[in-house]
Amino acid sequence: ETGVTQSPTHLIKTRGQQVTLRCSSQSGHNTVSWYQQALGQGPQFIFQYYREEENGRGNFPPRFSGLQFPNYSSELNVNALELDDSALYLCASSPGGGGYTFGSGTRLTVV
């Protein structure tokens, strides 16, 4: 079982729309990261939050943004969706070392 819960599990959006994906981490996990995984590829790092502040970002445009809340939940927001944004979006949390716990992901399809 996993202590990280993501919602929704599946989502279909139209090109140009905006989407918000949600993640609920384990209590005490102050670090949360978001990843994008295209079909057949390894997960690609989007950004990371530590105690509600962004402290690391991958090679993704500004239309990918996030928030982390005091209750260990977080959000990934994507504006102006493009077809290439179709992927599995993964949230991972950590108490600060020793491995990350991943959620099962949100499958986003942009049409």
What DSSP state is assigned to residue 85? G
58 binds another protein (CB under 8 A): yes
66 binds another protein (CB under 8 A): no
104 binds another protein (CB under 8 A): yes
What gap in Å lies between CA 99 and CA 76, rounded to an integer?
Answer: 21
Q: Which stretch binds another protein (CB under 8 A): 59-67, 68-76, 77-85, 87-95?
A: 87-95
Task: Provide the 3-class DSSP secondary structure of residue 99.
Answer: coil
Phi/psi of residue 48, nearest 5 degrees: -135, 145
How many residues touch another protein under the rule CB under 8 A: the total is 31
56 binds another protein (CB under 8 A): yes
